[in-house]
Every structure is written in structure tokens, then in C-alpha cells.
Amino acid sequence: MDINGKVALVTGSAKRIGREIALEFARRGARLAVHYRSSVDEAKEVAGDRGAVFQADLADTKSIESLFAGVERTFGRLDILVNSASVFSPSTAEEATPEHWDAQMNTNARGPFFAAQHAARLMKRGGAGKIINIADVAGEIIWPGYLPYSISKAALIAVNRGLAKAYAPEIQVNAIAPGPVLFPEDYTEEQKRSAVERTLLKREGSPRDIVNAVVFLIENDYITGELIHVDGGRHLV
């Protein structure tokens, strides 16, 4: 699929990796639907003159429904969905509460599933589409200190495979599992060093590494159901 001229929705595109993906789409000529939860000013910066911004709480299915209704009213179609929005906070098995569990699962797995469901309905009208889920190496390795988060990303990897089967052949669904790229703001220097040391390449990745993988999956029309690790070999350690 050629990105130029396509309508692309990137969730969580006001900040971090979602922002970088959206800006690359804009550089390549896409018509941007910029989703945000609370960072409206940043979202408007990403959208620029050609894009449009949409607020939604992806933990709420009614809000997701409104998001896609707005995209349809504004653009009349949808060609690309990148599920980038995510929440990330620590909790061990003993510390986890139902509220923390729900917050991780609803945004990181349930939200992408129902976003993809709505996206696929629009994409099928055009006969083609691309859905890309930003997973995490934590979904395979499972981090004890971030247990509900890791489980939510494991669920997203399963969602990715299931949707690839459900929406073939018209729509290709793939996922990317980043490693240490754009550390959380509350990470200490020791946490950063530890994360880098657990990669084979012994260095931090960059948002560009993730963006390049997203573009590759969109432009290649013979890949679906795949999980691409962009983690410096972290999943092998």
C-alpha cells in the first residue's frame, strides 16, 4: 500500500512513538486522523493544516465508537490504523488491584481490539486496509514487576493474530514489539542502563527504528499476522 493519499488514524499520536509515526505519515502524504486522550495542543500540532484531531478514551467502547464515527464524517474512509496508545505502570502479582488490572487491559488490549473492529468496517468498503498494533517485548518475556502490563501486551499479541485471521484477505494485521525506545519519564538512570544491558545490541533504540518498521509493514502487502521485534534482540535474552 502506498501511504500517499491514504487516510491514517494513529491512536495516541499526540506524544511519543505515536507522534513520530503520525508525522512520518504526514511527510509521506497521508491524510491524518490524530487521536488524543488529553493532550489536545500537541495533537493539533501533529495534525497541522491537513489533518484532524479526535478525542477519545480508548478504555470506553462508546468513546471508541464516537471516534470512528468522527473519522468517517471527516474523511469518509479509513485505510490505515495504528494502535499506538498505551498505558504503562508497575505492579507485581501481589500488588495488583482490580482497578490497575482493568486500566492496563482496557487500554492496551480491549481498546485496540474494538478500534480494529470499527476500522475494519470502514476499510472493507474500500476493499483494503492495514492495521498495526504496537505491542511490547514484555508481552512475551513477561516482566514480574509489570505483570498486568505484560499480560495486557500478551493479550494484544493474541488479538493481533486473531484479527489477521478474521480480516484476511482484504486487511493485513501486524504488530511491532519495541524494546528500550523512549524510556518512561520516571525511569532512573539505573533502570535505563539495565534495560539496555539486556539487549544483544547493548544500546537504546530510537523512534525512527519503530517508524521504519511501521512503514515497511504498510508498504508490504504480503505480510499478515506477524510480530516484528524491534528490540535490539531483547526477546532472545
Q: pLDDT-derived band of residue 183, with 50, 70 and 90 as boundaries?
A: confident
Over the stretch 56-68, which tens digit does the pLDDT of each residue have? 999 999 999 999 9
- The full set of domains in the chain, from first to last, is 7-236 (3.40.50.720)
Phi, psi at 156, each rounded to 5°: -65, -35
Nearest to 82 by CA among 170, 180, 5, 7: 7
Confidence check: pLDDT of 182 > 90: no
174 within 8 A of 226, measured Cβ to Cβ: yes
Task: Please provide the average confidence, as pLDDT, over all residues in the chain.
Answer: 96
Say what the pTM is. 0.96
Over the stretch 21-42, which tens digit does the pLDDT of each residue have? 999 999 999 999 999 999 999 9
Spatial separation of the C-alpha atoms in residues 227 and 183, rounded to whole Å: 21
- Cell numbers at 205, concatenated: 533504540
According to the model, what pLDDT value does residue 186 have?
Answer: 80
Number of Cα atoms under 13 Å in the Cβ half of residue 87 = 22
Q: Which of 36, 146, 149, 167 is catalytic?
A: 149
The answer to whether residue 187 is catalytic is: no
Over the stretch 124-170, which tens digit does the pLDDT of each residue have? 999 999 999 999 999 999 999 999 999 999 999 999 999 999 999 99
